[in-house]
Amino acid sequence: MKVISLINGSLISETTAAYAIHYAKELKSSISFIYVTGHDSIQDVMRSSENLKAKSSNMDVEAEFIILDTLYELKKYAHSKDADMIFCSTRHKHGILDKSFVQSIISQNIRADLSVIKIVKLGNTQNIENIILPIKDTKLSVKKFTLMTVFTLAYNAKFEIYSLDTISSKQLSNISTQDIKKRLKEIIFGLRHYIKLLKINSIPFSIKHDFSLKDGNKVKTHIARNNYDLAIVGAHHDHSFLKHHPIDILFENPLINTLYFIPHKD
């Protein structure tokens, strides 16, 4: 098993790589820091790679640094090493006609899961105490649950599953406390198998539920009011970042460091 972290010499990519190191350590995996040749300063890239190799060594994680010329070479390398996960950072905004690096990676159809991280706070990777996983009703995949569990164990943290249902403003105005309690019981029943696994492994967690309009204010308000260190958001099964649900606003306009998980289509 191999973990790959793509770096470009920036502090943002270095912070993303720090998350990757914790992930690799928990899985007892080695990690490859890879720079795909571009317009970045090679001096910055080399400095960053040395910092990350030193951090990996301090955490007893085997690490190497590799320079590749193209994303196709990255694909071949990932396949040859049976890569489990590729970590990379992304810009907060890019133009409509400016194909992002992440979209270019996705188009390669690399046989590995992808964790795209938007960094709001640099260096905030050592003391992760509270992680939030927003989901749509009970739509929690095994892959997303596994990723959340790995990060929770890696940081000895606790996490919250935050379930959201979208409804109209008229429905929201007529919702009762009884309706809310009934829906929460349904959510818990739908997630009961995951709950069993969490209890068996003594992983601290909580489950909360909200009804929300499509504007996404509910989930942003919830995060702003609570002391979360990391959000993990599931991806759509397409090659774009189109908005379909309030949860998606967490990636478009993150309040905290946010990991956007894109599992490989088996």
Same domain, 77 and 99: yes
The residue among 53, 86, 118 that closes a domain is 118
pLDDT digits (tens, 9 = 90+) for 38-59: 889 999 999 999 999 999 999 9
- 192 assigned to some structural domain: yes
Q: What is the mean pLDDT of the chain?
A: 87
Rounded average pLDDT over 26-31: 97
Same domain, 6 and 100: yes
Of the ranges 91-100, 131-140, 186-195, the best mean pLDDT one: 186-195
> CA 261, CA 131: separation in Å to the nearest integer?
14
Of 12, 265, 241, residue with least CA distance to 119: 12
Same domain, 68 and 179: no
Answer whether 88's CB lies under 8 Å from 16's CB. Answer: yes
- 125 assigned to some structural domain: no
- 190 assigned to some structural domain: yes
Q: What's the number of domains the chain is made of? A: 2
Same domain, 174 and 80: no
Structure tokens at 16: 């993303």
Per-residue pLDDT for 241 more than 70? no
* 82 CA to centre of own chain: 20
The pTM assigned to this predicted structure is 0.88
Same domain, 143 and 242: yes
CA angle (208, 250, 140) in 5-degree steps: 50
Confidence band of 238 (pLDDT split at 50, 70, 90): very low
DSSP 10: S
Of 130, 137, 68, 159, residue with least CA distance to 105: 68
Per-residue pLDDT for 97 more than 70? no
pLDDT of residue 245: 60
Range of the domain at 74: 2-118
Per-residue pLDDT for 170 more than 80? no
- How much of the chain exceeds pLDDT 70, in percent? 89
Write the CATH number for 83: 3.40.50.620
